[in-house]
Amino acid sequence: MFTVLAFAVGFVLALMLAIMRLSPLRPYRWFAAAWIEVFRGLPALVTIFTIGYAVPIALGFRVPGVYGPGAMALGIVYSAYMAETIRAGIEAVPRGQREAARSLGMTSARSLVSIVLPQAFRIIIPPLTNEVVALIKDTSLLYVLGTTASTIEITKFAREGVSRTFNITPLLAGALVYLAITIPLTRAVGLLERRNRRAR
Partner 1 sequence: MPDDPTRPDIEVVDLRKRFGPLEVLNGVSLTVQPSEVVCVIGPSGSGKSTLLRCVNRLEEPTSGSIRIEGDDILDPECDIDRVRRKIGMVFQAFNLFPHLTVLGNCTIAQRKVLGRPRTLAERTAREMLERVGLADKVDEHPVRLSGGQQQRVAIARALCLHPDMMLFDEVTSALDPELVGEVLASMRQLADEGMTMLVVTHEMGFARRVADRVVFMDEGLIVEEGPPEQVLDAPREARTRRFLQQVGERDEA
Part in contact with partner 1 (CB under 8 A); list of ranges 27-35, 36-44, 45-53, 91-99: 91-99
The residue (of 101 and 124) whose beta carbon lies closer to partner 1 is 101
The residue (of 93 and 154) whose beta carbon lies closer to partner 1 is 93
C-alpha pair distances (Å), 161 with each of 7, 127, 167, 168: 28, 34, 8, 8
What's the farthest any 2 CA atoms get from each other in the chain? 69
Cβ contact 6:71 at 8 Å:
yes
Least distance CB 193 / partner 1 (angstroms): 14
- Does 92 bind partner 1 (CB under 8 A)? Our answer is no
Kind and range of the H or E element at 102?
A: helix 95-103
The residue (of 164 and 200) whose beta carbon lies closer to partner 1 is 200
Least distance CB 198 / partner 1 (angstroms): 10
The residue (of 62 and 98) whose beta carbon lies closer to partner 1 is 98
**Distance (Å, rounded) from C-alpha 139 to C-alpha 108?**
37
**Residue 8 CB coordination number (10 Å):** 12
The residue (of 41 and 96) whose beta carbon lies closer to partner 1 is 96
Residues numbered 93-152 forming contacts with partner 1, rule: CB under 8 A? 94, 96-97, 99-107, 110, 114-115, 118-119, 122
Residues numbered 21-80 forming contacts with partner 1, rule: CB under 8 A? none
In sequence order, the 6+-apart residues with CB closer than 8 A to the CB of 122 are 196, 200
Cβ contact 18:81 at 8 Å:
no
Least distance CB 124 / partner 1 (angstroms): 14
Distance, first Cα to last Cα, the chain: 34
Q: Which residues bind partner 1 (CB under 8 A)?
A: 94, 96-97, 99-107, 110, 114-115, 118-119, 122, 199-200
